[in-house]
Amino acid sequence: MNVFESIMNGLQEAVSYEEGNIQARTERISVEPLPELTSEEIRRVRNAAGLTQSVFAAVLGVSVKTVEAWEAGTNHPLGSARRMISIIQADPEFLEKYHLVSYS
């Protein structure tokens, strides 16, 4: 199917839906809320992954000062950093498995 045919099929489906001839496909997706992480949990996750603060910061795309502040409890990770830390917490081998770090 070329691009034109694909667009035409999509438009025909939209018209059929609008006319009530077909039902829309629906799927519910739920997203786990971002976990709260204490400074001690962050330190434990980093240590379990065998990373220095410097390497942990590089993996998360933040500064070493930021990691220091998280571990001191001065600041807390937000958004994607919290999600990534929770992934590493659930699977400490995640970073090596997906070639984000390599141990030698």
pLDDT tens, residue order, the chain (104 aa): 788 889 999 899 889 889 888 888 788 999 999 999 999 999 999 999 999 999 999 999 999 999 999 999 999 999 999 999 999 999 988 999 999 998 77
Predicted pLDDT of residue 104? 77
- The domain 39-97 having CATH identifier 1.10.260.40: the answer here is yes
DSSP, collapsed to helix, strand or coil, labels residue 7 as helix
Check if the beta carbon of residue 68 is closer than 8 Å to that of residue 60.
Answer: no
Distance CA 72, CA 43 (A): 9
Tokens representing 45 are 């996750």
Check if the beta carbon of residue 87 is closer than 8 Å to that of residue 94.
Answer: yes
Nearest to 95 by CA among 49, 57, 64, 53: 49
Sorted by where each begins, the domain ranges of the chain are 39-97
Predicted pLDDT of residue 25? 79
Predicted pLDDT of residue 86? 96
Q: How many helices (H) and strands (E) does the chain have?
A: 6, 0
Predicted pLDDT of residue 10? 87
